[in-house]
């Protein structure tokens, strides 16, 4: 396994201060990118900026910002205001809660962002039409809640359209056994959302089938190897017992795991 293809993901609500403290440790360990989910009431770009200020090479990314929540002008203003280095930023967006007109809105948003920033653009997508749009208009596709086999299939379809693009996969992960309950609760919650329920039905799996490790008391590394072989970048969406900074340090050895 190439450790540079393994990244860590946190929720934006963790905050800029904790992200800034964690980022140098991630860079030292060999993680490629710190991905930040934009949760309601948080600004993922502010968290990303704090992490970027404390590191030299670690990439930062938003995974993802819903376009029905924030405008293009607001995003571009934030990137400029926060002075996030464009060569280290991946701006990930998604359709959010939009249903009608989502494809057209996302395509327009990507075009406007492309004109306004040199940052890499990524698109979070569940369905086949949004994944195809990502292949044609974004630099990267962000996938979520997939088995290694499904991830490989979707990555191959993306690369058939855009060989130079990247496929990023979020995988919910717990390193501490005491965090397993939180991980399974999150999986069950997503499995109940209509869009994700349809996603899992298409794949013939449950949300719990897509997490790391797949079963309690099973080693993470073997399935992590399968994921890194399937996509260009694996984001370990870190689930910890209490979201304390030191709890995330348990994930550091996974950055350099080798097959």
How many C-beta atoms lie closer than 10 Å to residue 193's C-beta?
A: 12
Model pLDDT, residue 257: 54
Could you tell me the residue range of the domain that residue 171 belongs to? 3-256
In sequence order, the 6+-apart residues with CB closer than 8 A to the CB of 65 are 38, 44, 45, 75, 91, 92, 93, 94
pLDDT in tens, 58-90: 999 999 999 999 999 999 999 999 999 999 999
Residue 26 belongs to domain with CATH number: 3.20.20.30
Q: What is the pLDDT averaged over residues 169-197?
A: 96
CA-based nearest residue to 220, from 244, 150, 207, 228: 228
pLDDT value at residue 99? 83
Across 49-81, b (16+ Cβ under 10 Å) vs e yields: bbbbebbeebbbbbbbbebeebebeebbebbee
pLDDT digits (tens, 9 = 90+) for 140-156: 999 999 999 999 999 99
Band of residue 229 on the pLDDT scale cut at 50, 70, 90: very high
Query: 167 pLDDT band (50/70/90 cuts)?
Result: very high
pLDDT above 80: residue 2? no
Identify the band that residue 1 occupies on the pLDDT scale cut at 50, 70 and 90.
very low
Whether 258 has a pLDDT exceeding 60, the answer reads no
Q: How many CB atoms lie within 10 A of CB 39?
A: 11
% of residues, the chain, pLDDT over 90: 90
Comparing 148-157, 158-167, 250-259, the range with the smallest average pLDDT is 250-259
- Listed range (5-9, 179-183, 221-225, 234-238) with the worst mean pLDDT: 221-225
At 12-23, the pLDDT tens digits run 999 999 999 999
Q: Closest by alpha carbon to 27, among 11, 3, 2, 1?
A: 3
Compute the distance between CA of residue 151 and CA of residue 1 in angstroms, rounded to an integer: 16
Q: What is the mean pLDDT of residues 128-150?
A: 98
In this prediction, residue 218 carries a pLDDT of: 83
pTM of the model: 0.95
**pLDDT grade, residue 259 (50/70/90)?**
very low
Q: Do strands 59-62 and 33-37 pair parallel, antiparallel, or not at all (unpaired)?
A: parallel
Decide if 8 contacts 236 (C-beta within 8 A): yes
Query: Could you report the per-residue pLDDT of 102-127, keeping only the tens digit for each?
Result: 999 999 999 999 999 999 999 999 99
**Average of per-residue pLDDT values in the chain:** 95
Nearest residue to 190 (alpha-carbon basis) of 146, 247, 128, 142: 146
CA atoms of 142 and 106, how far apart (whole Å)? 14
How many structural domains does the chain have? 1
């Amino acid at each position: 396994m190439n450790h540079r293809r393994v990244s860590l993901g946190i929720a934006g609500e963790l905050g800029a201060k904790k992200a800034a403290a964690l980022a140098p440790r991630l860079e030292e360990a060999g993680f490629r990118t710190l991905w930040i989910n934009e949760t309601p009431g948080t600004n993922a770009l502010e968290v990303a900026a704090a992490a970027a200020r404390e590191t030299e090479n670690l990439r930062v990314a938003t995974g993802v910002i819903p376009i029905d929540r924030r405008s293009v002008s607001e995003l571009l203003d934030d990137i400029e205001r926060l002075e996030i280095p464009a060569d280290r930023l991946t701006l990930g967006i998604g359709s959010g809660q939009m249903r009608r007109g989502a494809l057209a809105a996302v395509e327009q948003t990507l075009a406007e962002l492309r004109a306004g920033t040199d940052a890499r653009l990524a698109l979070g997508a569940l369905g086949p039409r949004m994944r195809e749009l990502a292949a044609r208009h974004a630099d990267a596709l962000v996938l979520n809640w997939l088995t290694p086999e499904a991830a490989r299939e979707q990555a191959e379809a993306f690369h058939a359209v855009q060989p130079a693009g990247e496929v990023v996969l979020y995988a919910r992960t717990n390193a501490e056994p005491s965090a397993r309950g939180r991980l399974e609760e999150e999986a069950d919650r997503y499995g109940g959302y209509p869009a994700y329920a349809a996603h899992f039905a298409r794949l013939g799996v449950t949300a719990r089938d897509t997490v790391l490790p797949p079963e309690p008391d099973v080693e993470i590394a073997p399935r992590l190897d399968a994921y890194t072989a399937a996509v260009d970048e694996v984001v370990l969406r870190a689930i910890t017992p209490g979201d304390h900074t030191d709890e995330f340090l348990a994930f550091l050895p996974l950055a350099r795991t080798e097959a």
